[in-house]
Amino acid sequence: MQPINDKDNNRNSNAIPRLLLTAASSGSGKTMITCGILKALKNRGLNCAAFKCGPDYIDPMFHRKVLGIDSYNLDTFMCKRTGVRQSLLSHGKNRDICILEGVMGYYDGIAGISKEASAWDVADTTDTPAILILDCKGVSVSAVAVVKGFLEYETEHHIKGVILNRISPMMYARMKQMIEEQLKVRVYGYVPVVSECVLESRYLGLQIPEEVEKIDEKLEHLARVMEDTVDLDGILELARNVSAMQEDTQVKEHLLNLSDTLQKGIRIAVAHDEAFCFIYPDNLEILKKLGAEIVTFSPIHDRSLPENIQGIVLYGGYPELYAKELSENDSMRESICHAVTLGVPCIAECGGFMYLQERLEGSDGKIYDMAGALFGKSYKTEKLRRFGYIILSKGTVFGHNVGNITAHEFHYYESEECGHAFTAKKPMSTRGWECMISTDTILAGYPHIHYMGNPQVAEAFAGACRRYKEKD
């Protein structure tokens, strides 16, 4: 199959070519099929960008590390709708295609009782056509009823097509005919059972790329399969036939006005290795827009923090899996503890928060010494402790009142001291609790924060870094 010409110099620059791949539920093959299609399109020489609906870190890691494709999160709760549109606009310009991967079931949103923050919400916010991936194992005619239900549930459903997963070529021909005859939707192909390409799960989602044996070979094989079984030309045509997205004037002006608060000359050290890999690229880009130079380092492999820094960021990841290695790196632990104690501004989220404390129970059940900049021990529990979106209120960030903060939590670990600086409240619920440690130089706790929806957090952090530099 020959690729169609996707280069259109007359295309409106805001008519971002885009498509959302979604499903009826988790476990339907979204990630596998998304990666396969991205790999096949990249093999054609197309300039692709990937996006993940929701707060998940793992799927974008596959897009970036394995496929070599830029990947970003689109979350209408944490980033708000204006932030989602701005992110897609800024990262989608000059791309041949943007593939958005859904989350859970298409309409599944906040608290399991709302469409807000669902994949549908992202499609509706960005006016993006969606293709429904349907797991056909063990079903036949019933699959038609499932598609019909998705089309009729919401008037503006945005579903333009279907891909059938785990189905034989013979059964596919019959199913395609039934669906297209009975419903106003196009079938864009199928994926047969490809057992060697299954991506296993772990408790925080999928395995990280480094853990999947022969991942490059698996995705190359998957891409070859999809060239034969999926109508990639049709998908490209659908992605190009989209409306122009309107830039949000208020958001655009705010981003442009960041120059008014530039903290020029500050260097921020960001942990990035096997243990600390949960990073939203937009967060780093916003810090750069604020004038920061980002310097990455490894708490596992490097011996000390980078020199001449005015800020430290320890995002989340899997420190419990590397507790022994982190503990054995005495000089790095001492370097971080000394810097934080000295007053270098520090953000520590989830895994980074656990590392900043005194001790950590590793996945092997042993207790290991950590940085010791904060009191307490983090330990594993038998069940999920916190999961889902939260709104943080009644607290300050680096000494500034920044208003409510939208955030997300997902952790099995608990800590002896989670902090009391903020009140966390579940949206659409009366549940709430105190959390996070916040001082003029530290913001630490289990919540993950996306700066696209909370730029005031990044601005407060950059300001603290500037003040430290001026004092130093």
pLDDT surpasses 70 at 29: yes
Kindly give, in sequence order, each residue whose CB lies less than 8 Å from that of residue 358, ignoring residues fewer than 6 positions away.
Answer: 369, 370, 372, 374, 375, 376, 377
For the stretch 273-289, pLDDT in tens is 999 999 999 999 999 99
For the stretch 64-103, pLDDT in tens is 877 899 999 999 999 999 999 999 999 999 999 999 999 9
> Does 195 fall in a domain?
yes
| pLDDT of 330 | 98
| pLDDT of 210 | 61
- 268 and 323 in a single domain? The answer is yes
- 320 and 229 in a single domain? The answer is no
Tokens at 312, concatenated: 């430290």
Boundary of a domain, candidates 240, 261, 295: 240
- 439 and 461 in a single domain? The answer is yes
Tokens at 298, concatenated: 């490894």
> Does 5 fall in a domain?
no
Beta-bridge partner residues of 49: 98
| pLDDT of 6 | 44
| pLDDT of 212 | 64
More confident residue, 107 or 66: 107
> Does 12 fall in a domain?
no
Active-site residue (options: 35, 48, 79, 350)? 350
| pLDDT of 265 | 86
| pLDDT of 62 | 81
For the stretch 218-237, pLDDT in tens is 889 999 999 999 999 999 99
Beta-bridge partner residues of 434: 423
| pLDDT of 429 | 87
| pLDDT of 202 | 44
H or E element: which one contains 150? helix 141-153
pLDDT surpasses 70 at 5: no
> Does 299 fall in a domain?
yes
- 41 and 137 in a single domain? The answer is yes
- 332 and 443 in a single domain? The answer is yes
> Which of 4-8, 188-192, 297-301 bottoms out in mean pLDDT, i.e. has the lowest?
4-8
More confident residue, 461 or 217: 461
Q: Is 337 marked active-site?
A: no
Boundary of a domain, candidates 217, 240, 263: 240
Strands in 122-204 per DSSP E: 130-135, 159-165, 186-191, 201-202
> Does 139 fall in a domain?
yes
- 258 and 235 in a single domain? The answer is no
| pLDDT of 167 | 94
- 10 Å CB burial of residue 249 (0-12, 13-18, 19+) is exposed
Q: What is the mean pLDDT of residues 450-454?
A: 95
More confident residue, 313 or 248: 313
Tokens at 143, concatenated: 């699959």
Boundary of a domain, candidates 220, 240, 260: 240
pLDDT surpasses 60 at 54: yes
For the stretch 366-417, pLDDT in tens is 999 999 999 999 999 888 778 799 999 999 999 999 999 999 998 889 999 9
| pLDDT of 383 | 82
**Residue 341 belongs to domain spanning:** 249-471
The CB density around residue 434, as the number of other CB atoms within 10 Å, is 13
H or E element: which one contains 72? strand 71-74
Percent of the chain with pLDDT over 70: 90
Q: What is the mean pLDDT of residues 178-199?
A: 86
> Which of 6-20, 183-197, 418-432, 434-448 bottoms out in mean pLDDT, i.e. has the lowest?
6-20
Query: What CATH number is associated with residue 30?
Result: 3.40.50.300
Q: How far apart are CA 350 and CA 341, in angstroms?
A: 20
More confident residue, 118 or 193: 118
Mean of all residue pLDDT scores within the chain? 91
Number of separate domains in the chain: 2
> Does 210 fall in a domain?
yes
> Which of 161-175, 190-204, 377-391, 449-463 bottoms out in mean pLDDT, i.e. has the lowest?
190-204
Q: What is the mean pLDDT of residues 23-38?
A: 91
Tokens at 220, concatenated: 């190359």
> Does 123 fall in a domain?
yes
pTM: 0.91
pLDDT surpasses 90 at 190: yes
Tokens at 71, concatenated: 């990947």
- 345 and 316 in a single domain? The answer is yes
Q: How many CA atoms lie within 13 A of 441 on its CB side?
A: 16
- 220 and 336 in a single domain? The answer is no
Q: How far apart are CA 68 and CA 66, in angstroms?
A: 6
Q: How far apart are CA 351 and CA 446, in angstroms?
A: 8
- 265 and 219 in a single domain? The answer is no
- 126 and 27 in a single domain? The answer is yes
| pLDDT of 7 | 45
Per the listing, tokens 């960041």 go with 258
Tokens at 159, concatenated: 């579903």
pLDDT surpasses 70 at 442: yes
More confident residue, 275 or 13: 275
- 216 and 284 in a single domain? The answer is no
Query: What CATH number is associated with residue 439?
Result: 3.40.50.880
> Does 225 fall in a domain?
yes
- 214 and 265 in a single domain? The answer is no
Tokens at 8, concatenated: 């259109």
